[in-house]
Structure 1
Amino acid sequence: MPEPVEGPPYFGDGRLSRARTWLYLRCGLEARTVLALAVVLAVAGGLALHHFWTGRPRTVRVAPASASALLPRAGFATSSATFPSAAPAPFLSVGPSVSPSAVTVDVAGKVARPGLRRLPRGARVADALTAAGGPLPGTDTTALNLARPLADGEQILVGIAPPPQAPGAEAPSGEAAGPVHLNTATEPQLDALPGVGPVLAQHILAFRAAHGSFSSAQQLREIPGIGPRKFAMLQPLVQP
């Protein structure tokens, strides 16, 4: 006896039944499966729409600060008597002879225009010579430390010897009163020489400590930092 052939389920008559029959024959799906898939797709679409809507960029408005937020904390009075307006500081007039940003020096000797010169604070001896018109032709300025900062009220002698000093008096700051003895000079005395700063003065003292007393000024050539030009400037100002 032949086995019965399984066929599509019977869904009844009518358009809905024919649609169910066509869906089963074409896609192999029953109506309940299609309905379940439709529900899943609808839920997924709803979640995607909700995620897109809540994640969209939005403009956030900041509420203006209220006047009470700008007041001091509790416990502090806010009246004008407690917080008086700051009165402007009185203006102090400064006379023409006193200026915190300038120095006055006396440039004397062999310069084009000797006399008092007012220069900005921090100016150098070279700036004072320029303000005085420069040294006269043939004037020897090797005894001057042109890089030394100026001090208010000092005198700069160009091309002339300083006046004799009383016993115990010190030479003007930065200027050598006479030849510097290399074997007895201190660091400030060496630093006052033209072209010699604190570092080179320490090198000279270290050389003296390592090699003993200087026998000749020519030994300065053996110290690093003293070349022919600087030695020519120092030679007439120093001696052993």
Structure 2
Amino acid sequence: MKNKWYYGAFILLVIVVGIIYVNSESSVSIEVDKDTKDNVEYNAGAEDNNEEYNTDDEDNNEEDNAEKLEKTIYVHICGEVVNEGVYTVKEDSRVYEVLELAGGLTEEAATDYVNLARQVKDGEKIIFPSKEQMETGEFCIDDAEEKLVNINTASIDKLTTLPGIGESRAKLIIDYREEHGDFETIEDIMKVSGIKEGAFSKIKDSIIVK
């Protein structure tokens, strides 16, 4: 009878040890699975962060490129050129580059008068004189610029010498520059109330900004 009791106790002990072993294995498996899941989530998060970082870099590069492309100026070119007009160019452009946009010089142009290598300025007017004007002394760059009205400094009396500009419009021009500062280009005068493309086309060859 005693032997049977020992035998029963031994069997019970084996069962208990077996149950403990199985539970410990399950616990280890669950912890391993949890660690694996954490690693997967961490790696996924890292990849998302890298993608966001790369996207931000790309956006910044696009903004920088766009900013570089936006740095343009306006130059008025006239005289003995094929196509007179106002041209939009990069801020570091040279005179010869604007001249190319205007179709080059005419046969009557004085080819050695204007420095083609110099850098252009925003809002400036470049005049190419003819050979005849240079030979007769009819053309002088200082005289030519003196005849132009500087819309950043001109008085009401000076502004009213422009075609289509009366005292009321002249006063609006002065009021605008006092409120907003100097005009950066001659085209900016169209920001003044009452001066649109039609009025600008009449005065664009007679005005300048300095």
TM-score of the pair, normalised by structure 1: 0.27
Higher RCO (Cα < 8 Å, 6 or more apart)? 2
Larger radius of gyration: 1
TM-score of the pair, normalised by structure 2: 0.30
Name whichever structure is richer in helix by fraction: 2
